[in-house]
Structure 1
């Protein structure tokens, strides 16, 4: 009876029932925005909150720790001498939430469904050379415990490990999938709202626009998760999250504004932590525009941004100054910050480029904070050098449509890597094998018209380089080239702000959304209200 009552209380809280004086000791309550949550299918998910929840519902063959593989469903693995075959031996004791034993056939089916569905996860797995035509041969089960992955060409092992550690490589219950499949959809319709995983938590409830409840999967092969349940409540307002944390209705608050973060930082009963993320905030400069094709103009624009001032006065600790195209925390990331606000130096460069009397530019901006505030600060400093900057506000869909069509002059944009490897970002910024308008390769370098055949070759070589030091040296060279002449003014790195009651310990977070794990989170002491 107590078990049922606890579950009912958790559900009522998620759905907005009257608050507890404090959260139960065995339930971890999280407040965050869930407005981007549209699916829980690991082959389809491509949003921040979805990737995080999937990571707690599903296991992968491996995870990574300090760049090295760490077994999850796989007990051991080996690489062939030529680097083109990876063989995994699975654990015998791993179970799906359905009770079925996890087998290599499940891993093979999961890879095949992700690639053949060709949705979010396929973009990541295709980096391994997998296609709808070859995936059944290249990702296969030799027996119940042996999964084999064959590659066309040898790739950097660290790249392979990081791809296999991403949410796209989640292993799904194939027997369950076959039972709920409709019209050859690989169970995608069912899995959008349900759970077919073997992770430390199982899905107990998802009410779109309201919240999610994860229940402990006690038979998990890595041990019993600490929280009996995790309730993740959709709370879009930062101030509401803060008040609920102070009153004891939440254990963890996310998506906090700078003002609410400051108030909680001053509270001795709350711990505020900042976790560097892989995402970057930058200005893309379209080199199809005549003025922006001149490297002197691009350097001038980079000197007309008050990086430190914006970080201090607008972002207030929610982002960190970053000028290279690879976020801090990734192997090989450089920390060079050569650009500071220097109006006179920018004027000289503009004069040398033939724009002594200034020029007119437009900046596409998403119509949300802090993008608008950043754009206004930049426009004010541009004006001091004679650049009339028109700010064009639009929603994110419109901004991305224009950006992907190379219809912009300048775009204030954000970048987040799809998997935790430097190649995911470097390829986006510094790889452009075909700069023609009809190119099928439309990543950031193409969108900004940066024609870089030599640099593209270097980045492509890094993907296959098995010597780690040499591989990272390629990525370092790409960062320096982009910093010097690239069509980007990289400004800030995302920081995930987490406010935790002092009693909460053991929460795991990292560079990517799918590194947030709840299994070891615990409450050390009974909580009290900390509202002031």
Structure 2
């Protein structure tokens, strides 16, 4: 710690500052308090945690990417343009001129080929995102090739190039400096050990130091093709305790605190020169009914349930700032999302739906829930509101692993859980919420449909496959919107909320961008007035 303080700004980061003498961070460095103890690796071929995803975005680029300031739009990255041949299942990218890695080495097609190959061959946690394109260690040299400034990507699967482009915008598709990494390979590890402590990208920042459980220190890249960041560096200090983060923000030791509780946020707003920004996140929270239980099979039960959730009551109280009402499977803030929220808490309407369908009440249903906030609070709210219409929940709390294990075994009745996409393409969630062609017990699928024993109607299965195949982006988005509307209207899975994250920062901080997943956190536009 002593070396860190001396190298950066000495006493300004020390917690011994007297309350009356507020510290001040350097004008050209953003200092962040954040819990980053989830990081296992910062190699983009292995990074699979929230904090490591955020780091990769600061130091690496992809051929195409969602970028600041508009994280809703897929934009050119290291590729200035591309041409698509859906019939041949091929995309040809033209690399941007004048791009250099932080080493000074120029970007080449060979760097892209090597980057993709090492992900497939190393086969670390996020590799499946690329291997779903039909890439294997045996065929990767034929599937990704380069000639001059042209990179040709081939894929093998019943999907469109629009899907492939979103896959290539994902974290493991980050492009690394092949020459530098090859020079640091050890025992055929493709530089994996070296990249756990170093960066070799083209991004707006360069890694100066990473010490697990302590800090990430990033310096701006003056040669970044998108324009050098305004600030000279970002220091992310590992601070596990929310109370300590709050104190450091109030005393001026940091510019930003990212893991505060709702109560702390409420107490900070408008005080000590602090502002709080809220950003929708990709995770959607839902209530689902297992279709292996005969009492939960009538569609009237599903429909009535949509009017028995006290959406506003929860988001106005204990979920305030943490979640917003969202009733479709693809999160708000990305192309193809359905943002309409047609359902509200209406007990009388729910009772009528059940009565008209001849459903006899009361109905007793067990409800499995993770035994921690806010899930237990949500379960208690659902228990109270559903009881008004004669649906009586018996809450069964458990650890996360217990609840998910039971869900995977399809032995629950009702389940309160959440779901997040593996990469930002609507198919990632459509497959989970709108597709299940084989509902047999021995045909396990990692989807909410199969886990709830829902044999999805053929119409929805076909619509899911059609959307995956559609090459035209606008038509594809429209297909996903229509698919979400159908699931929203008739499904045993009641989607209720989309998570949000709150970030507290000094008033002087501007330009921070936080997308729906950690991969879309950007510091390069930040300035401190």
TM superposition score normalised by structure 1 = 0.89
The equivalent of 2:94 in structure 1 is 89
Gaps of 5+ in 1: 525-532
1:214 is displaced (CA, Å) by 1.7
SS at match of 1:420: coil
SS at match of 1:110: helix
* Cα pair 1:68 1:158 within 8 Å, conserved: no
* Cα pair 2:203 2:221 within 8 Å, conserved: yes
The equivalent of 1:9 in structure 2 is 8
Structure 1 residues 53 and 18, CA gap change in structure 2 (3 angstroms): farther
Q: Does 1:36 align with 2:59?
A: no
Q: Does 1:326 align with 2:325?
A: no
Structure 1 residues 8 and 29, CA gap change in structure 2 (3 angstroms): same
1:522 is displaced (CA, Å) by 1.4
1:29 is displaced (CA, Å) by 0.9
Residue from 449, 452, 455 that aligns with 1:451: 455
Q: Distance in 2 between matches of 1:407 and 1:189?
A: 42
Q: Distance in 2 between matches of 1:327 and 1:206?
A: 32
The equivalent of 1:215 in structure 2 is 219
Q: Distance in 2 between matches of 1:11 and 1:439?
A: 59
Q: Distance in 2 between matches of 1:376 and 1:382?
A: 10
* Cα pair 1:365 1:393 within 8 Å, conserved: yes
SS at match of 1:100: coil
Q: Distance in 1 between matches of 2:191 and 2:95?
A: 24
The equivalent of 2:59 in structure 1 is 57
Residue from 248, 255, 263 that aligns with 1:251: 255
Deviates more, 1:472-481 or 1:307-316: 472-481
Gaps of 5+ in 2: none
1:51 is displaced (CA, Å) by 1.0
* Cα pair 2:86 2:471 within 8 Å, conserved: no
Residue from 104, 117, 124 that aligns with 1:112: 117
Q: Does 1:442 align with 2:446?
A: yes
* Cα pair 2:369 2:375 within 8 Å, conserved: yes
Q: Distance in 2 between matches of 1:364 and 1:12?
A: 49
The equivalent of 2:346 in structure 1 is 342
Structure 1 residues 175 and 515, CA gap change in structure 2 (3 angstroms): same
Once the two structures are superposed, residues 96-138 of structure 1 have per-residue CA deviations (whole angstroms, 9 ceiling, x without a partner) of 3344333211211211222333344323224434344432211
Deviates more, 1:130-139 or 1:511-520: 130-139
SS at match of 1:52: helix
* Cα pair 1:36 1:47 within 8 Å, conserved: yes
Q: Distance in 1 between matches of 2:188 and 2:196?
A: 15
Q: Distance in 2 between matches of 1:88 and 1:321?
A: 39
1:417 is displaced (CA, Å) by 1.9
* Cα pair 2:162 2:470 within 8 Å, conserved: no
The equivalent of 2:301 in structure 1 is 297
Once the two structures are superposed, residues 312-348 of structure 1 have per-residue CA deviations (whole angstroms, 9 ceiling, x without a partner) of 0111122111112222222232233232223333344
* Cα pair 2:162 2:472 within 8 Å, conserved: no
Q: Distance in 1 between matches of 2:522 and 2:161?
A: 25
Q: Does 1:25 align with 2:27?
A: yes
Structure 1 residues 194 and 414, CA gap change in structure 2 (3 angstroms): farther
Structure 1 residues 428 and 131, CA gap change in structure 2 (3 angstroms): farther
1:81 is displaced (CA, Å) by 7.2
Q: Distance in 1 between matches of 2:339 and 2:295?
A: 28
Q: Distance in 1 between matches of 2:195 and 2:298?
A: 50
The equivalent of 2:169 in structure 1 is 165
TM superposition score normalised by structure 2 = 0.89
Q: Does 1:358 align with 2:326?
A: no
1:423 is displaced (CA, Å) by 2.4
Q: Distance in 2 between matches of 1:118 and 1:520?
A: 34
Once the two structures are superposed, residues 195-252 of structure 1 have per-residue CA deviations (whole angstroms, 9 ceiling, x without a partner) of 3323222222333333322222333333332222211122333343233222211211
Q: Does 1:140 align with 2:142?
A: no
The equivalent of 2:49 in structure 1 is 47
Q: Does 1:369 align with 2:373?
A: yes
* Cα pair 1:284 1:410 within 8 Å, conserved: yes
* Cα pair 2:86 2:160 within 8 Å, conserved: no
Deviates more, 1:427-436 or 1:509-518: 427-436
The equivalent of 1:100 in structure 2 is 105
After superposition, the CA RMSD in angstroms is 2.8
The equivalent of 1:518 in structure 2 is 523
Q: Distance in 2 between matches of 1:212 and 1:91?
A: 29
The equivalent of 1:499 in structure 2 is 504
Deviates more, 1:186-195 or 1:512-521: 186-195
Deviates more, 1:386-395 or 1:299-308: 386-395
SS at match of 2:341: coil
Q: Distance in 1 between matches of 2:189 and 2:436?
A: 34
The equivalent of 1:279 in structure 2 is 283
* Cα pair 2:120 2:137 within 8 Å, conserved: yes
